[in-house]
Amino acid sequence: MEIKREKRNSSLELLRIISMILIVAHHFAVHSAFGADISEFNSFVIKVFFSGGKVAVNVFVLISGYFLVESKFKIRRIINVLVPTLIYSIFGYLSIAWLKGTPITFKDLLHEALPIRNNAYWFVTCFVALSILSPFINKLIGALNQKQHLALALILVLMQVRFYTIEPVFSISNIGWFITLYIIAGYIKKYPNKVFDKKLYMALAVLVLGTVVALWSYATIINDIFCLALALSMLCLFKNINIKYNKFINLVGAATFGVYLIHDNDFIRPVIWNDILLCPQHAYFKTFWLFAIAMVALVFVSCVLIDWVRMLITKLIVKLFYKIKGRKNEKRVQKI
């Protein structure tokens, strides 16, 4: 028996890929132990690399909301998130413990075996919570008309968004912001708008807002107004590009979650950026900008390849499971 899956939209899969590259670049800037005495230009490069991470997180949640708002709740969706999270959480701990020669303890192993409970990956914890809440949010959205839906989205944004130095009305929580993004994405999906469906307008918005976010020192948190506006513009642009189904794009897009789990593992990330790639040492060279681009690309591609291997092994195990199950069913039929 083979599980049939719907072919994913290649346009939005491309957006996933771009967003994950932005997240890798963000983590390059955040987790490399750069010194305070590097040149102004190299500091600017680090700032630019840092700027896209919060936007990309918003994009990922918006894409999820865009698809989930009109779909039925499936436990398999959560399992598909939890299984690779568990695998990479344990793999990260064991591999680095082996590499550094540190003793493996049951307490630490148990800690890594509960990555959602211990919030090892904050995004995954919030995303699983959002997925569990999604059928209830969908019920709420379904009971609202267009004006009520828009009013709810605007109220939630106004309460939580930061504009320049004006702080939000309420202290933000990640899950609260994820729910807000979900409701916004639901509105975009249910009520298409001619202006927001114009690719030229959205491309210009992405260009302008992208420049603002890259240069704006205050656009550093997930609920910043410019980060939100850029993420929305990116979603509206890519959902209307209508790229024909592309197997390669979809294969890479399917691995983006694995890229996040691998390179942002608590044990792996300092080893990647500081011990293996030696990023802090290269920050003193004039060609640092080129090095930064190359290292982000290297980490992204390497993690995609690793996750492809993981998916292949998982697929083989699932096939073997159904093959064994099929044989057992055949034996039961023969006995009857």
Average pLDDT over residues 198-221: 89
In sequence order, the 6+-apart residues with CB closer than 8 A to the CB of 226 are: 209, 212, 213, 216, 219
- Distance (Å, rounded) from C-alpha 270 to C-alpha 165? 32
pLDDT tens digit sequence for 267-316:
899 999 999 999 999 999 999 999 999 999 999 999 999 999 999 998 89
Q: What's the pLDDT score for residue 243?
A: 86
- pLDDT band at 103, cuts 50/70/90? confident
Give pTM, 2 decimals: 0.89
- 163 bridge partner residues: 166
pLDDT tens digit sequence for 244-279:
889 999 999 999 999 999 999 988 999 999 999 999
DSSP of 301-324, one letter per residue?
Answer: HHHHHHHHHHHHHHHHHHHHHHHH
- Distance (Å, rounded) from C-alpha 152 to C-alpha 187? 10
Q: What's the pLDDT score for residue 2?
A: 38
